[in-house]
Amino acid sequence: MNITDKVILITGASSGIGAATARELAAAGAKLLLGARRTDRLEALAAEIVAAGGTAEYRALDVTSRDDMQAFVEHAVARFGRVDVLVNNAGIMPLSPLAALETQNWDAMIDVNIRGVLNGIAAALPGFTAQGSGHFVNVASLGAHYVVPTGAVYCATKFAVWAITDGIRQEHRDVRATIISPGVVESELGHDITDAGSAAVMAEFRSVAITPDAIARAIRFAVEQPDDVDVSEIIVRPVKGSF
């Protein structure tokens, strides 16, 4: 359903939601370019997809670099002739109380979670506009809807992703824009938490979680809709979870 032979780019594809999304969309017939910093994992994932009969290539990608993101998109165009969908999935979540003053982590979240999305938009939007079609799928969070203790900066970055995505929808009537807001998902997100109290809270949150393939199916649902249908947002959370 409207996925076969689409050229889809996925950032943060080396694990978690990104890797699950790659498997889901490849199985539906998409042509994939996978990006992340850990190229060994990307290589293994691409090989797995190709062995299963799919199409996937990979490229090292640092989403905080505008030039790197531009080269990522240009590589896809050179290889496949166009880009149809960009899944801005890369994100980090080193939670901490504001009073801990972990300003380096604040900067890192702003760089990856906000600038990374904007760099993807800057790289792909001109091509989408020129071809009269395209689709941004931006992975936000339930943290885009409300704030929790230790999550003020992280939630702020995801509020920003929500706002940016809705801005695309309003400004570009020929470009689809989807926000995917996961609840607690089994993933490496949060592995970089350095504040001990925040790490304990995250462990409690993770006691009830869904698997990344649940988010991948939501992304597939948004992508496979007819071209005149825009799924603006999907929230996916554990049935028994509080977040």
Dist CA 112 CA 145 (whole Å): 19
- Is the residue at 166 inside a domain? yes
pLDDT of residue 1: 66
Widest distance between CA atoms in the chain = 51
The domain spanning residue 141 has which CATH number? 3.40.50.720
Report, as ranges of residue numbers, the positions in the chain whose pLDDT lies below 70. Answer: 1, 187-207, 242-243
Indicate whether 159 belongs to any domain: yes
Query: Model-level pTM?
Result: 0.93
Residue 243 domain-assigned (yes or no): no
Residue 71 in any domain: the answer is yes
Active site residues: 154
CA atoms of 191 and 148, how far apart (whole Å): 18
Whether residue 181 lies inside any domain: the answer is yes
Which tens digit of pLDDT belongs to each residue from 144-183? 999 989 999 999 999 999 999 999 999 999 999 999 999 9
Task: Report yes or no: 178 and 127 within 8 Å, Cβ to Cβ.
Answer: no
Nearest to 69, CA basis, from 86, 84, 82, 94:
86
* Amino acid in the structure at residue 145: H
pLDDT of residue 94: 92
Domain interval for residue 54? 7-230
Residue 236 belongs to a domain: no
**Structural domains of the chain, count:** 1
Element (H, E) at 218: helix 212-223
User: Is 176 a member of any domain?
Assistant: yes
Q: What is the pLDDT of residue 231?
A: 98
- Residue 210 carries which DSSP code? B
In a domain, 235, yes or no: no
